Every structure is written in structure tokens, then in C-alpha cells.
A and B are shown apart, each in its own frame.
Chain A
Amino acid sequence: MSGLRFVNEKAVGTSVLPDEARPLLDGEARFLNDIAFPGMYHVAFLRSQHAHALLRGVDTSRAKAHPGVIKVLTGRDLHGKVEPFRSMPNRFSGGQSVQDWLAVEKVRFVGEAICAVVAEDRATAEDAIELIEVDYEPLTPVTNPRDGEKDDAPRIHDTCVNNYLIKREYERGDVDAAFASAHLTVRRGFRIGRKQALCLEGRGCVAAFRRDGFELSMWMSHQLPYVVRHYLARHLGMAENQVRVVAPQTGGGFGQKASIYPEEFVCAWLARLLRRPVKWVEDRLENMVASTHAREQDIELELAVDAQGHILALRSNIWVDVGAYSTYLWSAGMEPLQTGGLMPGPYKVPALRYLTRGVATNKTPVGPYRAVGRPSASASLELLLDETAHRLGIDPVEIRRRNLIDQDEMPYRNANNLVHDNVGYVPCLQMALSKAGYDQLRAAQGQAPAGKLRGIGVACFAELTGLGTSTPVGPGTLLQPGRDAVTLRLETTGTLTIAAALPSQGQRIATAMRQVAADELGISMDDISCLTNDTGMAPYGFGTFASRTAVFGSGAVIQAAAEMRRRILALAAFLLDEPVENLTISSSVVHTLDRGKTLSLRDMAEHSFFSAKDIPQDLNQGFEVTSFYDPKHGSFAAGAHVVVVDVDPDTGAVEIVRYVAAEDVGRLINPAVVEGQIIGGIAQGVGEALLEELVYDEQGQPRTVTLADYLVPSALEVPNIELHHANTPSGALGGFKGCGEGSIIGALGGIACAVADALRQRGGDIHDFPASPERVLRGLGVALDDAG
């Protein structure tokens, strides 16, 4: 039974309780590590201890002799037998990287896999790892992009001159003329540390192989089962229809489980070689070095404004430390291109120039993580707007009001060539300000608790969600994953099954699609189930990422439901001997509008399948409909966050004392689920702004490989979030927008601006984030012992 939190005639717009959560509350959900097969072997990986080194030799003899060890695999064993990961080419300068599944000649980051050990149990595999001896010849590492791009820097890949994996210069509008004629130009630096998605469940897989017919089955903690299938087939030299990929219950994704990594591919290869199921489950220490990192940006940006604070031009210079390899599938362009290209956000920027680089370093590769590139793009500009407003003597809100794209200016094409429409930037700002009582907050700013500096931050953001085929996943990238499908099947018992390759990592995709289908078809939600995770059952689709899934899943359901409804009513019209126009469906029953005649879907479906002799064939085409949905363009979501912080100038501690968010995420499907997505994103933004940073030393050694070192917010650091909606329906089917990522953008900007605002009262400022106590104290001019 599905409970309803609110009584509503329509399922869409109602906080329907998610049946998907029930197994999770009983401990009965099956995550990857809960899957086991008889005779299953376990895999562990030996990982590089050096950031940059030649592999002189790998001695596996002791490991091979260890009792319980089945196989030890080195990079040389695989060399020439499988296709390594060659990064996607891009339209801009910068070389491609080639990543062996297991390192052959050289290691390029601490944590890179060198050997795989297969054993009868995991502990034995891990014991055997310790017995492998590697002869490294250390090379000088590159540990930051500004050094890495120098002509005399060590080269990480022979193919990458100046270690550029990507470099793009973009200009639109006359930027130089705007700067030459500006009333005021303001320049700022902004740096953001390296992050980790930190899914509570790490990566992992179970691979099983048999000869002939659906040869390879992969259970994998992943967001994109069909994409994985495509690449597994390609790299293992298999037919794609011989591969099945299932994403079981997944303990968080956030983009980290959207890339292609070597370990799972090694496991697939081992399953084929050994003809036994093999399992690998990443432990947390591995996850911290072997699953993609994010961010690590160094930005210089400059704004030209007129006397009223209207933006005339924006230019930026961006260095992204993208790590050792161009992340497979997405490429190293993810962060650099999105940060440069999407920096204007919701503001009118008539002229734009950016020079952005992804520089290879000897660190873990950078891949997608919630809101790729945009938190730093947004926060750097928000901080610059605050400084500009300060120099002009106007309120920070006023400069935003003067530059936001207003409703009557839409559709509006910005200098980054994106068109803004069906989105409410100004309504979000107004809502956030009025709910927060902004004027009173400013008036009372001097009344902070004794000894504290109070800061107020206001951040506005835009997030392009649900990208269709005409919009690449990032500016200038070649990947355009703009379509997805669902199959609707009316079972012979009259229940409806929705199948799609849109796995959930907690977003309640199945519940959302069931809600949409219930409304479109008049079928009770209790009669609808949803499969979202299995290429063996679902139509082709890209999967869950980029705030797209609810848009695509719902749009495809709407399209498929129209055809399904047509087929149901056509058959019912024949069976009831009524004109189609006189029929409708509600509560899983077809009935005449006057309810004089009824036919349950169960009776109709059973009849149509088991005793169809009397039914004309053209009315009985089968109740299974697949529809692909492509919204063509993306839908802009938006938000405005107002954040109040108290900074302790003695300790540098930052406390968030008030958090108000107003968001435009289009028409809501399940409000409580949406709130969970937005508040969860803000919580990750609290970590991004104040706590989380992966630190490397100058030798490229990671210093933050446990959760005691890499600090994610607990219930004590995340404030109560006051969330309000200022929704404008999108132009996509159903009026839906994505809501999974946007709020982390506003959180970084809002918190960063609030901290800077607090420091400004003592003449201080802050450019480096997260705003750790040390950085806050430095921002106040406190001299700290650099050795400590």
C-alpha cells in the first residue's frame, strides 16, 4: 500500500510515500556487497605508493604461492589483450591520455592499480597483495597546475604538451572594449580545494561469465548501466548483446559512479578468464584515492561594470588540477569547460572571455561530482559581485537585481550562447529575501553575539538541467546524452510495469515515474511497479546524472502513456461496444463517462492475452509501448540562497546561524523527495564551503585518506534549512526540471559570501575555500606559524 502524505486528486504534486524505501528500512535491500554466488572469488588490487614512477619490476611470486590465491594479474598480462582507456578527443587543444587498466610502464598517481589478486576470500586476497614486491623508479611529480603547465615541468603523458589535457579560449562580445570603457573594473582570485563525492557505499562489482548467450553479467554500483555495457563490450571485444549490466541498490552516486574505471573491467576480464564469478568491493581507503576526485580550481576573474553596477564584461583565467588521466567517458574537460562556460550563471553578461585549462598532475583523476564546475564558477562570481557592490557603495542584493535576467527579457541568449527561458531568477531572489527578512538581517548585522563577526551572504544561481540532444553535457564537449526511453507494459493481470535504464541512488526515480504514469493512465499507483536498473529488461538509456532523470523518465512516461492509453481505450471500446470518446480510465478501471459500463484493466488485459480469438488484430497490438524522449534543449532551474554566519575571530570557526533557500525546480512531482534532494545538496555545499578538502603533499602523497581527515558535515554542522519554492514550469514535457544538483551551487556561493562579508567588517577577506579556521584567521590578518 502506498500511503499519501497529502490527499490530492493527482499523484503528481503529492508527497507519495516511496515504497522503494521499505526494504532499506528492513535491512533487506540488496546492495552490491550483498550479492554472492557459489564458488565466487574475491579480487583485491595492489595500488601505487608513488605519485609518479617508472615500474622497473613487479615480483608476484610470493603472492602466487600464498595459499588460497587463484590468480595474480599484472599490467603486462593484460597488455595487448584489452583496449586501454583512451580519453575522448575534444575540439580544443590538449592531448589525450591513455590509461592501462593495470599500470604497465609507469604509475601516475598514488592509488593507481598495478596488480589484481584473485583469491578464495577477500582477506586472503588482501594478504597476498602485501606479498607483491614492486621496484619503482621515482620520477619528479607534478602536484599543481600552475607548475605543471610550465615548459620545463615533468611530462606526465608523452602526448600532453605542458601537461594540458584540455585548453580552451573562448570569447564573445568585445571584452577589451568593455574593460577599456568601464566605470569600474574589479579583479579577484578564487581557489577551491579538491573534493570527494564520498558516497557512503564505495564502488564495486560482481562479474560472472558463461559461454554462449548473455555471456557476461555485471552487477555494478553504477549510475549508467547501458553506458557501462557499451564500453565493456567494446573493450573486452564482445558483442554488446552478450553483456548484461545491473545496478543493484546503490549507496549514493553523486557523479562518482558515472565514470568508467579500470577495476570493474579487470574483474570482467578475470571472470571470463577464470569462468567463475568474481567480486570486488572497494574499501574506504581505496575509495579515497582510486575513485574520482572533483573540483580543485584556481581562478582569476575580472568584472567590468558601469556606474550603476551593470555588468559590461566578464573575463576569467582558470586552472583546474584534473589529475593523472582524462576521466574516461567524460574527459578532463568536465570541470574546466563548465566552470568557464557557465560562469555567467543567471546574470546578463554581454561580453565574455575565458581561458580555461585542465592540467594533468600526479593525483587521482578528477571526474564528475554533483554540479560539476558550477559551484566554483558561481561562487567566484558571487564573491566578485559582492566586492564590486562594496566598491560602488551599493547593497550586494542591488547589484544582483540589476544584473539578473528578468522575466520580461526572456528568452535571453547570454554571451555563453545559452538561452534562458521558463525560469524565475528574480522571483527566487525576491522569495529568499522576503522569507529571510533580509533588510532586518542587515539592520541587525552589528548585533551578533559578543565577540562574533556576523556575515550575510546572498547567492543566485542557474542550473541547466535535463539536457536534450541539442545541448552537450558541457560547453564544447562531444558527448550529447540527450535522450532516454521507458517501456510501459500492461501485464496480463492489469498491473503496469515501467522499465527504464534510470537507476536511483536515493532520488526515488521509480516513485516519481509511477506518479506520472498513474496520472497519465488512470492506473492506481499500487498497481504500478518500476524497474530502473537492468539492461536485461530496460530499453536503452543513458542513466542517472546531470539532473536529468526525472525530466527524461517522466517525459518518456508521458509519451508512452499516450500510446498505451490509446490502445487500452480502443480495445475497451470494442469490448464494451462504446465509442472511444465516451470512455476514460480511473482507479485501474475503464468506464463510460457516466460509469454505466465498466471494464477492469485486469479483465481486459487477461482477455486480450489468453482469449483473444474474438478481438480484431488491429485492436490487439500488445500492451507494451516504448518511447524515447528528447527535450532537445535543457531546462534552467534556479535558486537564491541567503546565509547568515557567525565567525569567531579568535578561533576562525564559522557557524551557520540561518539558512534560507528559494528554488525554482519547475513543476514538482513529489515535493518531499524534491526537498530531500535540495536540502541534501545544501548539506554537501556546507562541506564544500567549510570542511572538505583532499590534501596532497609536494611529493604527491595524499594526506587525507580516512574520514577522520576528510571532514564531511555531520548533523552538527548542517543547519536547519528553510526551503521555499518559487517554481516556474519548464518547457519540457510535464513542466519538470532537474533538482538533483543545483542547490550545492547556491550553498558554496552563499556560504562563501557570508564568510567574506563577516571578515570584511574587520577589513579582511578570503579567497581560498573551504573556509577552514586557519584560512579564516589568515583572512583576518592573523599571522600563523606556516610550519604548523
Chain B
Amino acid sequence: MAREQSITLTVNGREYTRTVTVRTSLADFLRDHLHLTGTHTGCEHGVCGACTVSLNGRSARSCLTLAVQADGGDVVTIEGLRDDEGEWSPVQKAFFENFAVQCGFCTPGFLITAIELLRGNPDPSEEEIREYLSGNICRCSGYQAIIKAVQAAAAAARGQE
């Protein structure tokens, strides 16, 4: 049988200790072991970006990250994006209000990536947004509504709504 290992990590502010086979991806760990099915696997080879989560403050492909690599780490998934009052983050709110979600399968990865972008660059240009999101594939929207949403979220966060 496949080798197993015990890991401890924080996911959406809560600490978990689990035993996993070493070949388990972080995506499968989140989905199958913690039942956090909001993270989606679109290609499982690191191109589409649907599985993107935040790992220790940086966006990461959870399909290419092994769960054991996240041992001791701090993970944020789409389920952890509401604030302490249970309100949507500005990016979630802006995605909703700008019709930036169609089938929604890619949405978790876009939210994580967009939040990371705005944390480092509160006022990105359209070019910068397109560049930053270019590692995430959306097959439905043509990206236009997503870019508008990120711009709106940035404006809201800057208090210009």
C-alpha cells in the first residue's frame, strides 16, 4: 500500500491533523478529507487554475501540491473568504454584482488569484489584471465581466464605490 504520513495544517483558520497517503494532492486532501469541495480540479496538471488556493499567503495550484508539502502550512480556500461577520469579501461581492460567474467551475481559482493581486496592487490597470489572471482559464465569460469585477472590487476596497 501507498506510504502514509501524518500532517497538521491550518485551513480557513482551523487546524486539522490527518493521516494521508503521501501521493495525495492538496486538492484531493481538501476535497476528500476535509470535505471542502469548493476547490475544483479542472485539469490536474497545473494549467487551468481552477484548483488555486492560498498557501502561506501565496496562490498555489492545489492539484500540483502534495498534501504533505502543506504540512505546517496555512491554507485559505473559497470557503474561507467570507469575513468574520460572514460578509462576502469585496472580490466575491464584485464578482456577483458584475455577472462574472457563469458555470462557476473556475470561480474559486479566480477569486483566490484576484484577492492576491489586489493585496499586492490595490489599483491595477486592466493590463495588469489581464496579466495576473492569465494563469486561470475561464471557458464561459470571455473574461470581460471578471476584469470588470476585479476593477470594481479594487475601487470598493479603495473606498471609491
Contacts and interface: CB of A to CB of B under 8 A. Distances in A.
Interface of A: 3, 5, 15, 17-18, 21-22, 24-31, 33-34, 67, 123, 197-201, 249-254, 283-284, 505-508, 672-673, 675-676, 679-684, 706-708, 712, 714-716, 718, 720-721
A681 B139 CA distance: 9
Nearest to A720: B144
Contact of A715 (B21, B42, B139, B146): B146
B58 interface: no
Given A252-B103, A673-B99, A716-B130, A25 B47 contact: no
Nearest to A681: B142
B145 A715 contact: no
Contacts of B106: 200
Contact of B133 (A29, A199, A715, A721): A715
B75 to A, nearest CB: 13
A420 B1 CA distance: 66
Contact of B147 (A28, A506, A715): A715
Nearest to A252: B103
Given A25-B96, A679-B145, A198 B82 contact: no
B124 interface: no
Nearest to B43: A284
A24 B129 contact: no
Interface of chain A: mostly helix, strand, loop or mixed: loop
Interface stretch (B3-11, B32-40, B65-73): B32-40
Contacts of B44: 283-284
B141 interface: yes
A25 B111 contact: yes
B1 A67 contact: yes
A27 B39 contact: yes
B78 A718 contact: no
Interface in B74-97: 77-79, 81-82, 88, 92, 95-97
A672 B100 CA distance: 10
B157 to A, nearest CB: 17
A251 B130 contact: no
Contact of A707 (B97, B105, B137): B137
16 contacts: A5-B97, A24-B104, A27-B77, A197-B139, A200-B139, A251-B105, A252-B103, A283-B44, A284-B43, A284-B48, A505-B102, A506-B101, A680-B139, A680-B142, A707-B47, A714-B134
A589 B48 CA distance: 49
Given A3-B97, A27-B78, A680 B130 contact: no
Given A200-B105, A708-B45, 6 more contacts: A25-B96, A27-B36, A27-B78, A28-B79, A714-B137, A716-B131
Given A18-B99, A200-B139, A676-B141, A706 B43 contact: yes
Contacts of A200: 40, 42, 48, 50, 103, 105-106, 137-139
7 closest cross-chain pairs (CB), A and B: A27-B38, A251-B105, A24-B104, A506-B102, A683-B142, A506-B103, A27-B78
A29 B138 CA distance: 17
A324 to B, nearest CB: 24
Contacts of A28: 38, 79
B147 A707 contact: no
Given A25-B111, A200-B40, A676 B139 contact: no
B40 A721 contact: no
B39 to A, nearest CB: 7
B103 A27 contact: no
B105 A252 contact: yes
A82 B111 CA distance: 45
Contacts of B43: 284, 706-707
Contacts of B107: 24-25
B156 interface: no
B140 A252 contact: yes
A24 B88 CA distance: 12
A745 B118 CA distance: 36
Given A26-B82, A679-B144, A284 B45 contact: yes
Nearest to B63: A284
B143 A718 contact: yes
Nearest to B126: A720
Interface of B: 1-2, 21, 23, 31, 36-45, 47-48, 50, 77-79, 81-82, 88, 92, 95-97, 99, 101-108, 111, 126, 129-131, 133-147
Given A251-B105, A706-B47, A707-B43, A679 B141 contact: yes
Nearest to B79: A27
A14 B32 CA distance: 40
A201 B130 contact: no
Contacts of B146: 715
A672 B99 CA distance: 7
Nearest to A281: B41
Nearest to B147: A715
Contacts of B142: 676, 679-683, 718, 721
A714 to B, nearest CB: 4
Given A200-B139, A251-B104, A284-B43, A17 B97 contact: yes
A27 B108 contact: yes
B68 to A, nearest CB: 15
Given A22-B96, A706-B47, A715-B134, A680 B141 contact: yes
Interface-central residue, B39, B101, B146, by most chain A CB under 10 Å: B101
B125 to A, nearest CB: 13
A26 B43 CA distance: 21
A708 B107 CA distance: 20
Nearest to B21: A123
Contacts of A21: 95-96, 99, 101, 104
Nearest to A254: B139
B50 to A, nearest CB: 6
A253 B102 CA distance: 11
Contact of B96 (A17, A198, A284): A17
A15 B99 contact: yes
A358 B39 CA distance: 40
A3 B140 CA distance: 23
A28 B36 CA distance: 9
Nearest to A670: B99
Contact of A721 (B41, B79, B144): B144
A198 B139 contact: yes
A680 B141 CA distance: 4
Interface-central residue, A26, A28, A712, by most chain B CB under 10 Å: A26
A706 B1 CA distance: 29
Given A505-B103, A715-B133, A676 B96 contact: no
Nearest to A5: B97
Contacts of B105: 31, 199-201, 251-252
A706 B137 contact: no
